[in-house]
Amino acid sequence: MSVCLPGKQVPAYFTHKTKGNSISISPGTFSASSRFKACVLLTPSGQFSFNTQVVCHLKSKGVLINELEYTSCWHEVDTSDSKILTEHLFVFSGSLFGAHSCVEVDATTSEILFEFSCNVNDEKIIECGVQILTEEGESSTSKWKVQSEEAAEVSKDESVVKRSKHTGLWSWIKKLRLSE
């Protein structure tokens, strides 16, 4: 699941943060079933739209271990003439290691590189953050919901969207949860 919402900085919940579109996570307790939550801060350039795609490449020792694609698409709303005018956070989750990955997991020496890119409308990633989930984090969706509600402040500023008929969208976003 992914969500795209207004924001000016990657929330503090994402303990590994940096400027730019890539970040390395030092060795830790990674396992074959490890998961993560990630957030990228996108700045609009030209036709930044509601249909945003972010690709995440995960590498260890220079070898691709997983490739994930996320799309934020507003199916419930007519967005054909809408443009996003401010920075937005794109938040998503996934597995560290792909289902068919043949890379041996080495929890003591491996560093994982997260590389993010946008494939739609040349949005620019100006900041990114990652949170590696523990077993407790993976199984406790209520804990994630509480942290995600506190992590980002959603703007109700009508200047965020060019057309004002989308103001009802914010009540829908509040109902959205970032759990799988």
Per-residue pLDDT tens digits for 91-149: 999 988 876 555 555 544 478 999 999 876 556 899 999 998 876 544 444 343 323 33
**Are the beta carbons of 150 and 144 closer than 8 angstroms?**
no
Domains and CATH numbers, the chain: 2-137+153-171 (2.60.120)
* Mean pLDDT value across residues 153-175: 43
**Are the beta carbons of 92 and 38 closer than 8 angstroms?**
yes
- Beta-carbon contacts of residue 157 (< 8 Å; ≥ 6 apart): 6, 86
Query: The whole model's pTM is what?
Result: 0.68
**Are the beta carbons of 42 and 125 closer than 8 angstroms?**
yes
In angstroms, rounded to a whole number, what is the distance separating the alpha carbons of residues 90 and 88?
6
The beta strand positions in 99-175, using DSSP E, are: 112-118, 124-133
